[in-house]
Structure 1
Amino acid sequence: MRRTAVLGSAGTLVAGSLIAGAIMAPAATAESRGHGIPEAYGVRIAAERAAAKGIGWADCPEDWGFAKPIQCGYVSVPLDYARPTGKQIRIAVNRIGNTGTKEERQGALLYNPGGPGGSGMRFPTRVTNKNPLWAKASKAYDFVGFDPRGVGHSTPISCVDPQEFVKAPKLDPVPDSEADKRAQRKLAAEYADGCAERSGWMLPHMTTPNTARDLDVIRAALHEKKLNFLGVSYGTYLGAVYATLFPDHVRRMIVDSVVNPSRKKVWYQANLDQDVAFQTRWDDWKAWVAKNDSVFHIGDTPEKVEQQWLTLRATAKKSPLGGVVGPAELIGFFQSAPYYDSAWVPVAQTWSKYLAGDQQALIDAAAPDMSDTAGNISAENGNAVYTAVECADAKWPTSWKRWDRDNTRLHKDNPFMTWSNAWMNLPCATWSAKQHTPLQVRTGKGLPPVLIVQSERDAATPYEGAVELHKRLKGSRLITEKDAGSHGVTGLVNPCVNDRVDTYLLSGTVDSADVTCAPHATPKATM
């Protein structure tokens, strides 16, 4: 899952398709049992149409930022799969061909980076940027990225004017009074109303199952008989839903940093669990900072580092740094440290400079990007999709008493992210569009082994999610990076993980049992 700005605080055609114009009744798949025959039937119609049309690949529009040899195109999908011949929306895709020979090619590898609301269209740049971790895979696969429905160039949705969205400073997410809570509740309700006003026609259809159906239509448009897929963070839930709906359409699937797929977790409880995991990883980072006090001079114990954090928050609350960086903006910057090990050093460096008298470095790092408002790719769009999908995927509590009780309790021991996370998700409590029942993720007939990769101390997607998905997908294999907590393990240098990812993608083979890997290298403290 992805944290963004804080609200108020910041194909060969598939088997069994249409034959010679005759409508074949869809089989009783996991999808038709769980979501009704209309959607299953609609996917078949859309997939056949997409396979016949293909994708009109061309040089990417200049303002998309992807140079040759990356190509771009669109795939049309139904807004509502129960009405497959009704309104269509366009899904933006891009690709780069495999770097190996024609004989080495194994098809297309599709990617989703998470969110909800993340764009996968930077995936082909792993080839153009010559990322060594993906050199072997890129010999065998075309790398294909896409913007999910509502994201970026794929019929983007919006909930508020982008210029308003980036204005800062936002309200401090940690409330001091009931009046503070009322102010945040008002902002959350207004945000939900804004989503309905600006994008209401899309909201009932902004679900993970619909994005999974889009993924199958993209597969057909690519003339791929089966799907090869890499999903990270929320992309793991997208992959799990796809595997449930279309198990016999999966060829290879890697899910990295796993969302817990239990209906009891999606999405309210998952966010509460995330608050605890973020606090755990925040504590890990503070211990590392303290251990390297000779470099950063922030504090030589975790307790002293925490006190420096509280002092910084209080200072920014009283007088926002540079007039724009308050506590909400600080959280937006500092949360990258518990999220990704790659942020440990730069966040500590920036903080160290601030304590040494250089405020501007922290202001530059934490202030909102006022240029992030143009075109379709913006922080506002990403946040809108995040909210729309999580609110539509599941039924959320509508009682403020429950939200207040749960978050007040959690905040006592997990103060770093709890309230900011609550306000970000609170629009779901007053969401006017339909909220669905989450799909029951499970193994379907024909599903090959799925490779699950997870760090033990992940903040954004707690480890229990990987264990739960592993239980639900028979034949899957779990690779655990022990004593590590970075989000997105497949992007890190750890041969124990990297070699198994390559072996799986190239041969389809997995270990005979689950694997525990030693952690990747701890960041080296430097200034």
Structure 2
Amino acid sequence: MRRAVVLAVSVVLTAGASTAPAAAYAPDPVVAEPLRMAGAAVAARRAEGTGIVFGACPADSRLKSPVQCGTVRVPVDYADPGGATIDLLVSRLRAAGPASVRQGALVFNPGGPGSSGLWFPAVGRPGVGSVTRKVWATAARTYDLVGFDPRGVGHSAPISCEDPAGYQHSPSADPRLATGAVKARKRAEARRKAENCRARGGALLANMRTADLARDLDVIRAALGEPRLNYYGVSYGTYLGAVYATLFPSHVRRMVVDSVVNPDPRGIWYGANLAQDVAFERRWSDWRDWVAGHDAVYGLGATPTRVQANFDRAMRMLGKRPAGKVGAGELHSAAVQAAYYDQRWVPFAHQLSRYLRGDDKPLVAAAAPDPGQAKDEENGEAVYLAVECSDGVWPRDWSVWDRDNSRVARQRPFETWANAWLNLPCASWPVPGGPAVDVGARRGAQPPPVLIVASRRDAATPYEGAMELHRRLPGSRLITEEGRGSHGLISFWNECVTARVDRYLVSGAVGDRDVHCSGHPLPVPSGTGGAEDANTGRFY
């Protein structure tokens, strides 16, 4: 759910698309849904006839031959398939194996919402990291690897809520603080953000629900000439896949969902974020336990309590006197990344340790905002809000937010208020939200077996979401990595997980029962100056 930092930059609405501000009212999504599904069928037939003309990728995509790019045209509003359109940028690397083993295209979405997937085909190129290439070797041999910028992202009619030149407000304050004055300021900022998004978002803002992105996915499938979709989704990409499988069950061939958003419509997205806060506290404790076990390396404390005290001390120090552009907020963001991925445990422990010993250079180098990324980051946040705020029903009353987040934060303060501040514009969003798609609830055709992959202690997408999706998709199988919590199991090597994903992608076999895999190795400290990550081999 929380967006990742993305690559990619600008593109405008295709000729004929309106750039007028989104109205404060949009058609009821339930009333318009039959029209939009009919419009999706029209758009898919059109795309099937047109196909995709692949050629060189845009220079700013950093994608080189043999990766190629092309565009797919989709309606802004699927209820009006003959109206305004936008072009989605799609990337592709042809399958490396002989014709006898090729199985068409594998389309990938990395999550967000708001993240670009254009980079995905590069995982099959020579020269990528050895672990990444190893994880994707079978898929790269069997499938054309296909990525894309979803609507509103990067090269696909990007939306914006503010001038990127003023986006990176750093150094920033401790986001865990929730005094009366902070709450009042954050509420005002959230209202301004929602209004700015309305003013700058354009016609696309009212057409950014996950169901709209799922319809785009079906048009991409048709443009690729694929009768059925092979799909790999991570994080929010799992929800996109689940919605696709609900709207287009007969169009699914293979689907892997990795690190699963809870699809229960009652939690999309307000309740899901509160559950995320609980899981982040648990995952943060994993990092503190690990650091305490390596006090001889980092000197941050021999108990989790002492590690927390040293982190809090660093937060206070940076709150009073930032290190360049790094304040308490930037340190907290780095800590959140460590809670996302244990590949970040080593560098973050090293940076925090060096800072508290008087050397802020490693922390500043890693955590200071990069002005070169401001445009992409602002675009990513705009899309994140546009999708999540319009996907489901959000409380409009501040007292509900204050009550619920205060309750959670009393015991789980690590991420709660930071998450609330990020999502608070949804309380005054100009496009009416919800109701969310009831995943798996449609009568009639069912998708073929879906493979679900999840880590037991994942913070960003708590494990309960994988179990809920498993329940909602009959015939699905669940692979659980026990004892770990890294988000996105594609980012590291685990033989037990990868072998089963590969078997499924090649044969469609999910096995006759769910599988529990042992956890991948944790990072291994190797000296007082740093440590080696057991999964990447990288030394810090």
TM-score under structure 1 length normalisation: 0.92
For residues 63 and 117 of structure 1, the distance between their equivalents in structure 2, rounded to whole angstroms, comes to 18
Question: How far 1:3 moved relative to its partner?
Answer: 4.7
Q: Structure 1 residues 213, 309: CA separation in 2 closer, same or farther (over 3 Å shift)?
A: same
For residues 78 and 118 of structure 2, the distance between their equivalents in structure 1, rounded to whole angstroms, comes to 24
Matched residue type, 1:157: I
Question: How far 1:47 moved relative to its partner?
Answer: 0.4
Question: Equivalent residues in 2 for 1:387-466 (5 A)?
Answer: 387-442=385-440, 445-466=445-466
Question: How far 1:62 moved relative to its partner?
Answer: 1.7
Moved more, 130-139 or 390-399: 130-139
The residue that corresponds to 1:22 in the other structure is none
Matched residue type, 2:363: L
Q: SS at the partner of 1:90?
A: strand
Moved more, 365-374 or 207-216: 365-374
CA-to-partner distance for each residue in 1:346-391, whole Å, 9 max, x for gaps? 11111121122211211221111112135xxx11011111111000
For residues 279 and 514 of structure 1, the distance between their equivalents in structure 2, rounded to whole angstroms, comes to 27
The residue that corresponds to 1:252 in the other structure is 254
> Is 2:3–2:115's contact at 8 Å kept on the other side of the alignment?
no
The residue that corresponds to 2:22 in the other structure is none
> Is 1:490–1:497's contact at 8 Å kept on the other side of the alignment?
no
Q: SS at the partner of 1:59?
A: coil
Structure 2 counterpart of 1:71, from 55, 68, 71: 68
For residues 229 and 199 of structure 1, the distance between their equivalents in structure 2, rounded to whole angstroms, comes to 29
Q: SS at the partner of 1:459?
A: coil
The residue that corresponds to 2:518 in the other structure is 518
> Is 2:174–2:332's contact at 8 Å kept on the other side of the alignment?
no
Residue correspondences, number: 497
Q: Structure 1 residues 242, 429: CA separation in 2 closer, same or farther (over 3 Å shift)?
A: same
Q: Structure 1 residues 347, 182: CA separation in 2 closer, same or farther (over 3 Å shift)?
A: same
The residue that corresponds to 2:500 in the other structure is 500
Q: Structure 1 residues 250, 176: CA separation in 2 closer, same or farther (over 3 Å shift)?
A: closer
For residues 282 and 476 of structure 1, the distance between their equivalents in structure 2, rounded to whole angstroms, comes to 31
The residue that corresponds to 2:490 in the other structure is 490
For residues 99 and 291 of structure 1, the distance between their equivalents in structure 2, rounded to whole angstroms, comes to 44
Structure 1 counterpart of 2:120, from 116, 120, 123: 123
- Do residues 339 (structure 1) and 336 (structure 2) align? no
Q: SS at the partner of 2:188?
A: helix
Question: Equivalent residues in 2 for 1:27-426 (5 A)?
Answer: 36-128=33-125, 129-130=127-128, 131-175=133-177, 177-322=179-324, 324-374=325-375, 378-426=376-424
The residue that corresponds to 2:17 in the other structure is none
Q: SS at the partner of 1:384?
A: helix
Matched residue type, 1:120: G
For residues 114 and 3 of structure 1, the distance between their equivalents in structure 2, rounded to whole angstroms, comes to 7
Q: SS at the partner of 2:100?
A: coil
Q: SS at the partner of 1:110?
A: strand
For residues 35 and 311 of structure 2, the distance between their equivalents in structure 1, rounded to whole angstroms, comes to 53
Q: SS at the partner of 1:83?
A: coil
Question: How far 1:259 moved relative to its partner?
Answer: 0.2
Question: How far 1:35 moved relative to its partner?
Answer: 6.0
For residues 484 and 361 of structure 2, the distance between their equivalents in structure 1, rounded to whole angstroms, comes to 32
Q: SS at the partner of 1:257?
A: strand
Question: How far 1:169 moved relative to its partner?
Answer: 1.8
Q: SS at the partner of 1:144?
A: strand
Question: How far 1:33 moved relative to its partner?
Answer: 8.9
Moved more, 34-43 or 497-506: 34-43
For residues 511 and 4 of structure 2, the distance between their equivalents in structure 1, rounded to whole angstroms, comes to 36
The residue that corresponds to 2:469 in the other structure is 469
Percent identical pairs in the alignment equals: 52
Q: Structure 1 residues 162, 33: CA separation in 2 closer, same or farther (over 3 Å shift)?
A: closer
Q: SS at the partner of 2:343?
A: helix
For residues 137 and 365 of structure 1, the distance between their equivalents in structure 2, rounded to whole angstroms, comes to 32
Q: SS at the partner of 1:215?
A: helix
Question: How far 1:37 moved relative to its partner?
Answer: 2.1
Matched residue type, 1:367: A
> Is 1:167–1:368's contact at 8 Å kept on the other side of the alignment?
no
For residues 174 and 414 of structure 1, the distance between their equivalents in structure 2, rounded to whole angstroms, comes to 10
For residues 372 and 520 of structure 1, the distance between their equivalents in structure 2, rounded to whole angstroms, comes to 32
Matched residue type, 1:214: D
> Is 2:173–2:329's contact at 8 Å kept on the other side of the alignment?
yes
Q: SS at the partner of 2:266?
A: coil
Where structure 1 has 5 or more consecutive residues not aligned to the other structure, the ranges are 6-31
For residues 490 and 352 of structure 2, the distance between their equivalents in structure 1, rounded to whole angstroms, comes to 29
The CA RMSD over aligned residues, in Å, is 1.5
> Is 1:453–1:490's contact at 8 Å kept on the other side of the alignment?
no
For residues 36 and 154 of structure 1, the distance between their equivalents in structure 2, rounded to whole angstroms, comes to 23
> Is 1:256–1:454's contact at 8 Å kept on the other side of the alignment?
yes
For residues 199 and 455 of structure 1, the distance between their equivalents in structure 2, rounded to whole angstroms, comes to 36
> Is 1:104–1:140's contact at 8 Å kept on the other side of the alignment?
yes
CA-to-partner distance for each residue in 1:24-81, whole Å, 9 max, x for gaps? xxxxxxxx99963211210111001101111111111222210000000110000111
Where structure 2 has 5 or more consecutive residues not aligned to the other structure, the ranges are 6-28, 531-540
CA-to-partner distance for each residue in 1:160-204, whole Å, 9 max, x for gaps? 111211131234323352111111111111111110111142111
For residues 308 and 257 of structure 2, the distance between their equivalents in structure 1, rounded to whole angstroms, comes to 34
For residues 98 and 236 of structure 1, the distance between their equivalents in structure 2, rounded to whole angstroms, comes to 24
> Is 1:4–1:383's contact at 8 Å kept on the other side of the alignment?
no
For residues 121 and 266 of structure 2, the distance between their equivalents in structure 1, rounded to whole angstroms, comes to 36
